[in-house]
């Protein structure tokens, strides 16, 4: 059995995605793998204390020990609250429906 595992680290911006494959020692944590892969140098805005982290779409903690073939995902903060955006969109639809009465003109 090998003392190394293969992992991926991904980070996505609006117009750019980065996927890094890395072989790390067994027992490596999420935070250690992120530091080892060099992504923090490429994206200095990543803050391990504030960015949420996940493994295959499920939130995880920085001290989680990785398994072979895990994919670490570094999440960016949301620009807008999705619930608030949906609420505003629903309000706009109500206003549009309310004002969509037929206009008739007499000749």
DSSP string across 24-76: EETT-BHHHHHHHHTHHHH-TT--TTTS-EEETTEEE-TTPBP-TT-EEEEPP
| 3-12, 24-33, 87-96: segment of lowest average pLDDT | 87-96
Span 16-75, pLDDT tens digits? 999 999 999 999 999 999 999 999 999 999 999 889 999 999 999 999 999 999 999 999
Q: Tell me the whole-structure pTM to 2 decimals.
A: 0.71
Instruction: Give the start-to-end residue ranges of the domains of the chain.
Output: 4-78
CATH of 4-78 given 3.40.50.150, 3.10.20.30, 2.40.40.20, 3.40.50.300 = 3.10.20.30
Residue 27 falls in which region: left (phi positive, over 0), alpha (psi -120 to 50) or beta: left
Residue 85 pLDDT: 78
Does 1 score more than 90 pLDDT? Answer: no
């Amino acid at each position: 059995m090998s003392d190394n595992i293969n992992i991926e680290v991904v980070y996505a911006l609006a117009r750019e995605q980065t996927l890094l494959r890395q072989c790390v020692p067994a027992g490596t944590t999420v935070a250690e793998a992120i530091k080892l892969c060099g992504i923090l140098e490429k994206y200095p805005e990543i803050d391990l204390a504030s960015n949420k982290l996940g493994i295959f779409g499920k939130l995880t903690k920085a001290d989680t020990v990785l398994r072979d073939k895990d994919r670490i995902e570094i999440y960016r903060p949301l620009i807008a609250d999705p619930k608030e955006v949906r609420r505003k969109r629903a309000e706009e639809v109500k206003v549009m429906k309310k004002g969509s009465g037929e206009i008739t003109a007499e000749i």
